[in-house]
Amino acid sequence: MRFVLDASVALRWFIAEERSVSADAVYHRLVDEPESFAVPELFCYEVFAILFRVHPRAQETFEQGILPLLRSGLLRYPMTDAVASRAARFVAAGLTGYDACYAALAEELDAVWLTFDSRAHARIMAEGVSTDITSGLPAGW
């Protein structure tokens, strides 16, 4: 099984007040099995922007914490016609454009989107492409 990693998960690795057992478990599995993970191309930019809003050492954290993970073997997926088409359907279901891209990529790859955004997950729960890891990791983790 492949997992699509949401920025909300990665940010919890570097913001002390947001630490989470679930996020830490995702990090350890990503380090051990990078090929089991994918991110849309917007992930890098989203994490970068948020770190610069909230982290006192944003550039250092991005360079030392995120960039090595991006080079580790996880799939960095570009925006394609197929992903854009799928994302438009998720926007129509109530997701933001960013969240729709994560959900669309999960659907495209027959994967599961790991997120802490419980509202986004609730809007598309019936689609079976997302897991709100606030309440735990997906079955079979």
Tell me, which fold does domain 3-135 have in CATH? Rossmann fold (3.40.50)
Spell 12-46 as b/e; 16+ CB within 10 A means b: bbbeeeeebebbeebbebbeeebebbbbbebbbeb
Instruction: Let me know: does 10 contact 66? Beta carbons within 8 Å.
Output: yes
* Tokens of residue 20, six digits: 């989470």
Q: Look at residue 118 and tell me whether its pLDDT is greater than 90.
A: yes
Gap between the Cα atoms of 41 and 76, Å rounded: 6
Quickly state the pLDDT bin for 17 (edges 50, 70, 90).
confident
- The pLDDT > 70 percentage for the chain reads 100
Mean pLDDT of the chain: 96
Task: Provide the pLDDT for residue 18.
Answer: 87
- The radius of gyration of the chain from alpha carbons, rounded to an integer in Å, stands at 14
- The pLDDT > 90 percentage for the chain reads 94
Q: Look at residue 139 and tell me whether its pLDDT is greater than 90.
A: no
Closest CA to 29 of 68, 2, 62: 2
Q: Where are the domains of the chain?
A: 3-135
Quickly state the pLDDT bin for 140 (edges 50, 70, 90).
confident
Q: Is the dihedral of CA 48, 81, 4, 17 positive or negative?
A: positive
Quickly state the pLDDT bin for 36 (edges 50, 70, 90).
very high
- 48-90 tens-digit pLDDT: 999 999 999 999 999 999 999 999 999 999 999 999 999 999 9
The 10 Å Cβ neighbour count of residue 87 is 24
3-state secondary structure 75-125: EEECCCHHHHHHHHHHHHCCCCHHHHHHHHHHHHCCCEEEECCHHHHHHHH
Gap between the Cα atoms of 14 and 75, Å rounded: 21
